[in-house]
Amino acid sequence: MGSSVDLLKSWWRDTGNHHWLAHVLASHSVLRWQRWTVGAGGILLAVIGTTTALSSAGPTDTFGLSVFGVVITGALLWALRWWFLPWPSTVESLALFAAADIAITACCLQDSDRVYSSVGAMLLVVPGCYLTFFHGPKVLAAHALWSLLSVIVLTWRMVAAGGDAYLAVAIVLIMIAAVVLSLPSLQFMFWLVQSESISDPLTKLLNRRGLEFQLDRLFEARDGAEICVMIADLDQFKSVNDRFGHSMGDEVLIRTAQLLQSCDTADLVTARSGGEEFTVVGQLTTERALAAAESFRQAVAADHIIPVTISIGIAVFDPADSAGTPRPTPEELVQCADEAMYQAKAGGGDRVVVGELISRAPAEPA
C-alpha cells in the first residue's frame, strides 16, 4: 500500500506534460495536426452555439443572445489562434481552456430549455480531454470541480422549473463518471506510461530521453539564472563487472544513484545518461556545484564494499559573471561538462574538474 500511495503522491505533484508532449508531437511531425484539431473544436463550438441560438431551446432575451454572440466570436478567434499562431505557452494554454470552460457554462445558463442546458454541460468533457494529457492533475481537478458545479447548478434550475428530478440525478452521475472518474484515471495511466518511458528501470532515475526533455524545460524556466550541468562517470567500471559479476555491477549503479540523490543540496534533476554515467542539472553557482560534486565523490569512494571511484566534470553558466556572453544551449553546456569529466579521468580519476565554457561572440546585426 505504501508504494501505491507514494505513486499517487508523485502523480499529484506532477506539473503536466504541456511542453513534453508538444516536443514529442513535433518530433513526429504531427504537432501541426494537433493544432488544427484543437482549432477545429472552436469551429464546432461556434456551429453548436449558432444552431442552439436559432433553435427553440436557445436564449429568448437580448442578454442571452449577446452572451451567445460573444462566445461564438470567441470560438472563431480560438480557431484562428490555434491554426495560425505558434503552440501556446503553458500559461496561455491554461488561460484558453479556462475561458472555454466559462464559455460553455455561460451558454448553458442562457438556454431556455432547462433539460437541453443540463445535457449541454456535457461539452465540458471536451476541454477536459485536452487537460488530461497536456496539464497536471491539479489542473484537471479544478476542471472537474468546475464541471461538477456547473452541472449541479444547471440540473437544479431544471428541477426548480418542474423538471424530472430523477433525470437530474442521472445527468449529474453521468458528469461524475465522465469527468470525475474517467478522465483522472486516464491521466494517471498516461502519466505512469510516460514515467516508465523516460526512466531508467535499474536506478529509477531519468534516462537519456527523460534528461533531454527536462533540459529543455529547465533552460526555458531558468532563463536569466545560473545553470549547472555535472557529469559523473564511474572509474574503470568494466573491471567491477569482470571481477565481481554483473549483479554486483548493478548494485554499484543502484547505490551510486542513491548516493547522488542523497547528496542533493538543491532542486536538482538527476539522470543515468549512459552505462555508468550520471548527469545532474540544476540552478547552482560554481562554488555550490563544486561542494556538491566533492561531497558526492567522497561518498562514492567511502560507501561501496568494493573499491569504486568516480570522476566528475562541471559546467556552469552564471549570467552575473558572464555579462555580454550569450547563454549557452543545453547541448553546449553538456559538452563542456563531458569534456571536463574526461579531463578528470585523464588526470587519474577520482577527482572533480570544472570546465571552461567557450565564449560565443554575439551575432552581429545584419
Task: Give, for all 366 residues of the chain, the pLDDT tens digit.
Answer: 447 888 898 899 888 888 878 888 888 899 999 999 999 999 999 999 999 999 999 999 999 999 999 999 999 999 999 999 999 999 999 999 999 999 999 999 999 999 999 999 999 999 999 999 999 999 999 999 999 999 999 999 999 999 999 999 999 999 999 999 999 999 999 999 988 888 899 998 999 888 887 777 777 655 667 889 999 999 988 888 888 898 999 999 999 998 888 765 557 889 999 899 999 998 888 898 999 999 999 989 887 678 899 999 999 988 776 656 677 888 889 999 999 999 999 999 999 999 987 654 444 443
- Judge whether 80 lies within some domain: yes
- Tell me, yes or no, whether 163 and 214 share the same domain: no
Whether residues 35 and 73 share a domain: the answer is yes
Predicted pLDDT at 223: 61
pLDDT at 220: 66
For position 340, which CATH number holds? Answer: 3.30.70.270
pLDDT of residue 32: 94
**Does the residue 246 lie in any domain?**
yes
The reply to whether 364 falls in a domain is no
Domain span including residue 256: 208-354
Same domain, 251 and 279: yes
Q: Note whether residue 116 is domain-resident.
A: yes
Instruction: Give pairs for 326-331: CB < 8 Å, separation 24+.
Output: 326/360, 326/361, 326/362, 327/223, 328/357, 328/360, 329/219, 330/215, 330/216, 330/218, 330/219, 330/229
Does 28 lie in the same domain as 146? yes
φ, ψ (nearest 5 deg) of residue 7: -65, -45
- State whether 127 and 188 are in the same domain: yes
Domain co-membership, 297 together with 181: no
Task: Tell me which residue of 272, 286, 266 sits closest to 340, measured CA to CA.
Answer: 286
137 and 50 in a common domain = yes
Residues making up the chain, counted from first to last = 366
Q: What sign does the dihedral 256-257-258-264 (CA atoms) show?
A: positive
Q: Say what the alpha-carbon torsion angle 292, 293, 298, 304 is, to the nearest 10 degrees.
A: 110
Residue that is last in its domain, among 197, 232, 266: 197
The residues with which 230 forms a beta bridge, in sequence order, are 280, 314
Contacts of 325 (CB under 8 A, 6+ apart): 357, 359, 360
Are 277 and 180 within one domain?
no
The number of domains in the chain is 2
Helical pair 125-134 and 183-197, crossing angle rounded to 10 deg: 20
Note the pLDDT of residue 283: 85
Is 362 part of any domain? no
Please report whether residue 332 resides in a domain. yes
Return phi, psi of residue 234, to 5°: -65, 135
Whether residues 140 and 33 share a domain: the answer is yes
Grouping H, G, I as helix, E, B as strand and the rest as coil, residue 215 is: helix
**Among 197, 219, 250, which residue terminates a domain?**
197
- 197, 217, 246: which is the final residue of a domain? 197
Same domain, 222 and 306: yes
- Domain co-membership, 7 together with 141: yes
In a domain, 366, yes or no: no
* CA 8 distance to own-chain centroid: 16
Are residues 186 and 318 both part of a single domain?
Answer: no
